[in-house]
Amino acid sequence: MNLSLLERKFQAEIIYPESDGKPMAENTVQYYWLTTIKGNVDILVADQPDVFVAGDLLWYPVEGHPEICTAPDVLVVFGRPKGDRGSYQQWREANIPPQVVFEILSPGNTATEMRFKRKFFERYGVEEYYIYNPDVQDLEGWQRRAGQLVEIPTMDGWVSPRLGIRFEIDAEGLALYYPDGRRFLSFVELAERADEAELRARQAEEQLSQAEERAKQAEALAARLAAKLRELGVDPGVSNL
């Protein structure tokens, strides 16, 4: 469709806010899960330059309509490059919608609000939609089928078709696992694991250095013994058997 100069000028002047004025998280539990899921998905796709991951980023699916928007707790877009964005304006992103969305419920979320969000995600192309309520350890998920988001009957043991991650509910609540079986960890746990790995690497390096030093000492001792034997008229290279 060809736009008139006035229409193009009007669209150019439309402002798409980068904040909806709402807090990123209402409490520490919600923030923990938001950052843990976002951070681990970042790690999962770190070597894939065409997968964009964001947390609490406003998504505008329709050009010219800044009133049509929402900010998922975590969104994942396959087919778009990594990089900073003030908002996700879909028409500037090859018109590719987020395929995977996570929401972490807080006491302020209402059933009406969550129904609206699910309909929003269904209308604008989300393929996988997951909701976790940490207060009651309840996990729900929906998958796109025939143009609609259909509820996944059992989430315990479910594997995301897009991400390959596995969802489980254990005594402590939600547990997420990488495709290779490693569990999602918090930033503190990841830092502790990194420190432990660094310590083990240093210890291994020290042990290797000590082994090399012992080998050098043994070699020097063998050389001295060989020299002493030669002084005594014995050829150390000839067997006396």
Mean pLDDT of 206-226: 77
Cα–Cα dist 166/148, whole Å? 22
Query: Helix 28-44 and helix 187-231: axis angle, to 10°?
Result: 50
Domain ranges of the chain: 13-184, 186-236
pLDDT above 80 (res 52): yes
The predicted pLDDT at position 96 comes to: 98
CATH T-level topology, domain 13-184 = tt1808, chain A (3.90.1570)
pLDDT above 70 (res 216): yes
pLDDT tens readout for residues 160-192: 999 999 999 988 889 999 999 999 998 788 777
Cα–Cα dist 57/34, whole Å? 12
pTM for this prediction: 0.75
Tokens 């609609």 identify what position?
148
pLDDT above 70 (res 232): yes
Burial of residue 138, with CB atoms counted within 10 A of its CB: 0-12 exposed, 13-18 middle, 19 or more buried: middle
